[in-house]
Amino acid sequence: MIAQGFLWAGMALLWVGGVGLLRMRNPYDRLQTAGVGDIGGAALMLVGVLLDMGFWETSGVPLLLMLFLLFTGPLATHSIAKGAFVRGERPKE
């Protein structure tokens, strides 16, 4: 029951992040919505999988995936933002 709550919350955050990508016009705003939706949604879904299947049956793979996403998500967001800045897109004040 608790695991399904985490899965549904993760799916909701991923859905909100996807809608934010479609609605936002500025690349920096898109990165904000995508970053929150992607990291938060994927982490909640992986916690739900870990709680549902158990740590020993999955051998901790969801935990490793969560750590990988938590380290690589901000790096990808930073490189996309730097590419947009170099291309000439300036943040709006």
Domain range annotation of the chain:
2-87
In tens, the pLDDT along 22-79 reads 998 888 888 888 888 888 899 999 999 988 888 788 778 888 898 999 899 889 889 9
For residues 1-35, one letter each, b for 16 or more C-beta atoms within 10 angstroms of the residue's C-beta and e for the rest, the string is: eeeeebbebbeebbeebeebeeeeeebbebbbbbb
Q: What pLDDT does 61 receive? A: 87
- Please tell me the predicted confidence (pLDDT) of residue 14: 93
* Residue 2 binned pLDDT confidence (cut-offs 50, 70, 90): very high
- DSSP 8-state secondary structure symbol assigned to residue 15: H
Which pTM does this prediction carry?
A: 0.80
Please say whether the beta carbons of 9 and 22 come within 8 A.
no
Task: Return the amino acid letter for 55.
Answer: F
Please give the average per-residue pLDDT across 12-21, as a whole number: 91
